[in-house]
Chain A
């Protein structure tokens, strides 16, 4: 019996899931980025949908016969965005649509879709994909990296099954839903899917990925998305964004009538409300929007639907308040949305002659919870900038109105950093932009800052700036930053409030030592010894 038990334990040990235990020594990182990926983005395949023909014909009608007022087709912004029309036709149809579509009418003009060109209404331009979408996806995926890894393994299986064997094809598979659907359908219908050994040979790519991924995760503790590798990063983000966009589009009727910036803002707000379920991404990968419909009955999506409901109700309350009263409604950022909706107070009825700009009692449809603490604090001055900027933004957002989207709710501790506020992050980013911009001129600094975004970029830029004020060479500055950053980050996290600016102190120290005639190397050695990181 003992032998049996021992064997059972031995057999079971094969099923044990162990945590990663890889050495974290992180030498300098470089990516092999294939230029064909960029080429693809610059020359994407044109997407022509069934409705395109109708819209084109109607656009021609508008031109030649009846004029813009009579354009009968392309009645929804989604349709218009999906078709290929010239800029002139786009403008004409768009203007008419914006004037007539009730959804569009509910959106403030500055958030509304732009009729001057299609591009301004798209969020997925290569310019904003990484810095903006990546920033809000980072919080989303913070604790879902295992799920993301599994999802990538699924993608590999799909690619092999669909016989997508070129890099450009893989990028296209992830970024072009029409192509994806076609290749999956073709693979399902194909009588011969290739040899089984051949497919296993390609599918073993998953084993390579599973080997490298945990190592890369350890190299990017503060930006785990980078662990997927730079070649995959952009198309994958585009895919994830597309799927999030689809859910936003599915649940928010006005979404398609927003311009690119408002869409991006909405997506980041929506993302804050739930952690992306991998099942959703997988369903979207397999079946596109139909996959969404299939998922609609599941508990997870039901909960998302309820949250969207709450978001819309809150917006209604805010809108009602705005209708009654002045443009300067000051509402603090809402941190968490409870599921049930609390009815708004009835609007205050002012006596005749009451000044129009007096604020009504503030509607409090949801409980306001204190902001979650930052996981890693920014340096004091940045936090100060962030605070004031955030306050301004919060007031502005509500007064101007994303109209229909309430401030984001906060998911679990996952994105505590992001939760402190997208606005805070934005502020840090903006305040550090100039610094980062200047630093990026140095190739050594570019190497550090190039792979970062948002708060992390701001923090890194601050650190590098302070260190380089000491006058050491960029190479040594970067080296010191890389070695000291983990220790200083943990020190700041341990004593966040009123903590000193370690980087500034170090910069001053370097400056003093340089003035005393010490060489860069000697200073570096001394600091490394002090921090015990040599």
Chain B
């Protein structure tokens, strides 16, 4: 009986994680602050922050993505207040394949020392799950087309 329970739990765990986007193998948890988990890749200047999300699969549409443009100014104001000044988006894209939708935004901002930090924001959802991630690097130039190198 207990063995069957264990197998069931295992199957559930495996299937549920297999369906969610997660940092690529090699990324390890570095810090946790509230609901934000920061992962790092040893020896590489790259970090992934994952946090809880409220959006759903049906929210990831071209129209919703276009609406984000009206919030860029607000995002920049948040940036000034919370330590990521001069936030700029240099590109965005919606990908839909295999029952998943992904909104990608790439760009850069200035940290407290005025150093440029490159980022990709990833909003991912399938009909059952959703997640949002922030990939950042001080030195690597991140391209949104390569986001799947970091999130699998």
Contacts and interface: CB of A to CB of B under 8 A. Distances in A.
Given A18-B29, A18-B32, A7 B71 contact: no
Given A34-B80, A196-B54, A229-B83, A211 B13 contact: no
A216 B31 contact: no
B113 A28 contact: yes
A201 B105 CA distance: 10
A238 to B, nearest CB: 14
Interface residues of A, number: 60
B34 interface: yes
Contacts of A214: 31, 33, 38
A32 interface: yes
B77 interface: yes
Contacts of B111: 212, 215
A324 interface: no
A192 B75 CA distance: 20
A466 B24 CA distance: 52
Interface in B30-44: 30-38
A297 interface: no
Contact of A149 (B34, B81, B84, B114): B34
A231 interface: yes
A189 interface: no
A31 B121 contact: no
A205 B78 contact: yes
Given A153-B36, A214-B31, A208 B79 contact: yes
B81 A167 contact: yes
Contact of A210 (B36, B75, B80): B36
Nearest to B13: A11
Nearest to A155: B82
Interface in B57-71: 59-60, 64-65, 67-68, 71
Nearest to A3: B10
From DSSP, what is the main secondary structure of chain B's interface residues?
mixed
Contact of B77 (A17, A150, A165, A232): A165
A42 B119 CA distance: 36
B12 to A, nearest CB: 11
B79 A205 contact: yes
B112 A212 contact: yes
Given A11-B13, A28-B113, A205-B78, A21 B83 contact: no
A211 B74 CA distance: 19
A518 to B, nearest CB: 32
Nearest to A152: B82
B35 to A, nearest CB: 7
Given A202-B75, A206-B34, A232-B81, 6 more contacts: A171-B81, A197-B65, A202-B78, A208-B49, A210-B36, A229-B81
27 contacts: A7-B13, A7-B14, A8-B13, A14-B37, A18-B28, A27-B113, A29-B112, A32-B110, A153-B35, A154-B34, A159-B78, A195-B64, A196-B55, A197-B103, A198-B64, A198-B68, A198-B71, A201-B121, A203-B54, A206-B36, A206-B51, A207-B36, A208-B83, A210-B36, A211-B136, A219-B112, A232-B81
9 closest A-B pairs by beta carbon, nearest first, are A165-B74, A210-B36, A207-B49, A205-B78, A207-B134, A208-B84, A196-B55, A153-B34, A229-B83
